Amino acid sequence: MYKKSFFIVFEGIEGSGKSFQARILYNKLKKKNKNVIITREPGGTRSAEIIRKIILKDYFEKNKKIKFDKYTDTLLYLAARNEHIKNRIIPAIKNKKIIICDRFIDSTLAYQVYGKKVSFNFINNIHKKILGKIKPDITFVLKVKKQSFLKRLKKRKNKNRYDNFPVKFYIKAQNSFLKIAKNKKDHIVLESSQNTPILQNKIFEIIKKKMGLK
């Protein structure tokens, strides 16, 4: 039986099914009576959710294209992460909980570093301060075909600015996630164009094996 905390992250572009799969895994572990929490970034705490609302607004004033500078935008993400780490992740680790997080540091690298060309060292130096030794035990990167993620995004009722980007943005972001995951033992890339029970069970079996659960 695994007696330490275990940190699981789901990464991928919008419409990859990561939030759905995170919730399915959470429910499966709950049924096994495991001490598990589910959270997300940006957000996960009251203070971080306030920052999330600012980040995800299309515009700050109606009919005016007023946007943050890319470094201001990045600092907001990192501010939300700091609140999340201090008030949700660290307490969960101390209480030996299983943590399931929808997005984490790979999203910052994919969108801000690869996408917006924000300095990696800029982000890395802040991460050293706010993360310390905290890192995911396993990261699932969900890879999705174009027709599948476009279909899912079209169905969404509540959309934010990240749900309205050009197709090429998502393809570029997905390639960035795959580059980040390449040759990393703690990263597992899974095809998620079909959100079937087969995929759900595969994820659950991987976690059971990693944690020594029956």
- Mean pLDDT within 170-184: 94
Q: Identify the band that residue 214 occupies on the pLDDT scale cut at 50, 70 and 90.
A: confident
Residue 1 lies in a domain: no
Average pLDDT, the chain: 91
Amino acid 151: pLDDT: 85
User: Could you read off the pLDDT of 123-150 as tens digits, one per residue?
Assistant: 999 999 999 999 999 999 999 998 888 7
Cα(192)–Cα(159) distance, integer angstroms: 21
Q: Identify the band that residue 155 occupies on the pLDDT scale cut at 50, 70 and 90.
A: confident
Cα(162)–Cα(71) distance, integer angstroms: 17
Residue 200 lies in a domain: yes
Kindly list the distances between the CA atom of residue 21 and the CA atoms of 9, 139, 160, 191, in Å, as whole numbers in the listed order. Answer: 11, 12, 20, 12
Amino acid 169: pLDDT: 84
Amino acid 62: pLDDT: 55
Residue 203 lies in a domain: yes
- Mean pLDDT within 74-86: 97
Residue 12 lies in a domain: yes
Residue 42 phi, psi (nearest 5): -70, 145
User: Could you read off the pLDDT of 19-36 as tens digits, one per residue?
Assistant: 999 999 999 999 999 999
| Neighbouring residues of 132: CB distance < 8 A, sequence distance ≥ 6 | none
Residue 54 lies in a domain: yes
Residue 47 lies in a domain: yes
Q: Look up the CATH number of the domain holding residue 83.
A: 3.40.50.300
User: Could you read off the pLDDT of 32-76 as tens digits, one per residue?
Assistant: 999 999 999 999 999 999 999 988 875 555 556 667 889 999 999
More confident residue, 100 or 195: 100
**Any idea which residue has 């939300």 for tokens?**
80
pLDDT at 162 > cutoff 80 = no
Domains of the chain: total: 1
pLDDT at 152 > cutoff 90 = no
The arrangement of strands across the sheet holding 36-40 comes to 36-40, 98-102, 6-11, 138-143, 187-191
pTM, 2 dp: 0.91
- Mean pLDDT within 5-25: 95
| Neighbouring residues of 32: CB distance < 8 A, sequence distance ≥ 6 | 213
Q: 100: part of which helix (H) or strand (E)?
A: strand 98-102
Q: Which domain holds residue 106?
A: 6-211
Residue 24 lies in a domain: yes
Amino acid 63: pLDDT: 57
